[in-house]
Amino acid sequence: MMKFIKSSLTVMFITIISSLFASNEVSIVPAPVSMTTGKGYFSLSSRSSLLINTGDKAVKDIASFLNKHIKEFYNLSNLTIENGAIAGKGSIMIKLDKGRGIKPEGYELSVTRDNIEICASNPNGLFYGMQTLFQMMPPEKKEISKIKIKCAEIEDYPRFSWRGLHLDVCRHFMPKEFVFKYLDYMAMHKLNTFHFHLTDDQGWRIEIKKYPLLTEIGSVRSETLVGHYYDKNSVYDNTPHSGFFTQEDIREIVKYAAERYITVVPEIEMPGHALALLSAYPELGCTGGPYKSATKWGVFDDVMCAGKEKTFEFLEGVIDEVIALFPSTYIHVGGDECPKVRWHDCPLCQQRMKDESLANEHQLQSYFVQRMERYINSKGRIIIGWDEILEGGLAPNAAVMSWRGEEGGISAAGQQHYVVMTPGSHCYLDYYQGNKETEPLAIGGYTPLEKVYGYEPVPAALSADNAKYIMGAQGNVWTEYILTPDHVEYMVYPRAAALSEVLWSPKESRGYKSFLQRMNTMIKRYKSVGLNYCPNEFVKKTEKND
């Protein structure tokens, strides 16, 4: 009997060890829908051939992407890219096949000892299949002549279509080169929507040719608050802060993103968070100014005047150029945190309310947003705004970004409007992710990795019919307390990796333990590509206790 128990234990032990080994060997984040690993490896060397089954430029570019990756990581020379329909021995086939019924953005990846095949209905699926293949290669950058890739069959597709990450470049400007890196890391995690927060009280960061003062004046603030907003004595750094993206920069960013199957959704804030705009064009405010770009954080009473026709004419001019630069279907119009005190005291705003039979200033905000919606819809685009756009009545075609909890999202989906969930509690990546005493200064909150991982974007309160209006979720990265690209990365990773799994992987197959284990390999990859990250959950317990 004892012998039987012993041998059973041995078998169990071996099973556990080998399953650990297998999952260690293939560590993919976000976890694929299904994966079975087989015996043996495909051996990728400079003698392997790279086949594509179409002359489609997007597919060729994905093949070149593979070449670039193996050169950068392993110093392996370019594989020649050939057209071919049959995957021979030693070949990697990248195959567009609309007839196989592979889901949107999904792919099938087959690795045998003889060959590799990535198949998808669309190039975006091939791109994600390629990202998975990269994760099956060694995470360290080192010269190798033969890359061993574990035999496996993978079937994969995302749970949500909006897998977003946001970046505020207004509170602290971030250079274009960093935006490229940000997009690279998003692609690594199969995130597909970059919400580019371009205008706010503290700086206007996008060149608009019709209104040059927006950047000449509005992109500069005289100084910046040092320390926390709630510190007893406010201290300022006495140093101007500035920076903006030219239209050429924006075109480069949009192209770079598109090459990684990322849509850039621009945000032009209205009618609030407008001090930088008003500093340049004071005639668009209720009082006429003068105004100054904000040097501290928060919400300011001076907003765009809703009574003046020229406010709308001006914004239409801005939107014309924004639409020409960004192909995104959605244009974010902000709409959050717009105090109503100036409107209450402004004869023109009050006249507008009379003329339009608006009962209160919330309805005036709704009028503002709906009017801009009509203009944006007339150009074939759709607006998305923060959940305040629900107050006073939702614009007919607007999508809602739910940030003050989930209520806004539940209400909008209940009204059959599309929704992106970004509740502060789980999706604000500017919140603390560890102990306040030891973490760098942050805005507040507490959103550790496990909390992000545990997020469920579809609120239980929604019926199945209304749940389909939840397009996905997004991590928001406000930069009041984040001054440098390195610090942005520290705040975003690994929490954005957790969010990527929330958004991509099937709900029932998610598991935090497995995620952490797979992240050990991902972190080696972060180190290889120079991505800074918060190590809190990956420091050995003994070190943690030191």
Interface positions with Zn ion (CB under 5 A) = 286, 305, 307, 346, 348-349
Closer to ligand ACM by CB, 76 or 383: give it. 383
Q: Which of 155, 184, 249, 337 binds ligand ACM (CB under 6 A)?
A: 337
Residue 403 interaction partner, one of ligand ACM, Zn ion, none, beta carbon < 5-8 Å per kind: ligand ACM
Residue 31 interaction partner, one of Zn ion, ligand ACM, none, beta carbon < 5-8 Å per kind: none
Verify binding: residue 336, ligand ACM, rule CB under 6 A: yes
Question: Least CB distance from residue 306 to Zn ion, whole Å?
Answer: 6
Q: Which of 65, 107, 367, 386 binds ligand ACM (CB under 6 A)?
A: 386
Question: Least CB distance from residue 378 to Zn ion, whole Å?
Answer: 25
Q: What are the E-state strand segments in 55-143? A: 81-83, 91-96, 107-111, 115-120
CA gap 412, 389 in Å, rounded: 10
Q: Is the dihedral of CA 244, 272, 447, 522 positive or negative?
A: negative
Residue 170 interaction partner, one of ligand ACM, Zn ion, none, beta carbon < 5-8 Å per kind: none
Residue nearest ligand ACM by beta-carbon distance = 336
CA gap 118, 95 in Å, rounded: 6
Question: Least CB distance from residue 260 to Zn ion, whole Å?
Answer: 42
Verify binding: residue 343, ligand ACM, rule CB under 6 A: no
Number of residues that bind ligand ACM (CB under 6 A): 4
| Catalytic residue numbers, as ranges | 200, 273, 337
Residue 474's alpha-carbon distances to 10, 116, 428, in angstroms, are: 45, 33, 9
Is residue 236 within 8 Å of residue 225, measured between CB atoms?
Answer: yes
CA gap 110, 87 in Å, rounded: 11
- Phi/psi region, residue 468 (left: phi>0; alpha: psi -120 to 50; beta: rest), is alpha
Residue 307 interaction partner, one of ligand ACM, Zn ion, none, beta carbon < 5-8 Å per kind: Zn ion
Q: Which of 160, 182, 403, 533 binds ligand ACM (CB under 6 A)?
A: 403
CA gap 106, 125 in Å, rounded: 5
Closer to ligand ACM by CB, 207 or 269: give it. 269
Question: Least CB distance from residue 476 to ligand ACM, whole Å?
Answer: 6
Question: Least CB distance from residue 272 to ligand ACM, whole Å?
Answer: 9
Residue 195's alpha-carbon distances to 166, 168, 267, 407, 543, in angstroms, are: 4, 9, 7, 21, 37
**Helix, strand, coil share of the chain (percent; to 5):** 40, 20, 40
Verify binding: residue 128, ligand ACM, rule CB under 6 A: no
| Site residues for ligand ACM per CB under 6 A | 336-337, 386, 403
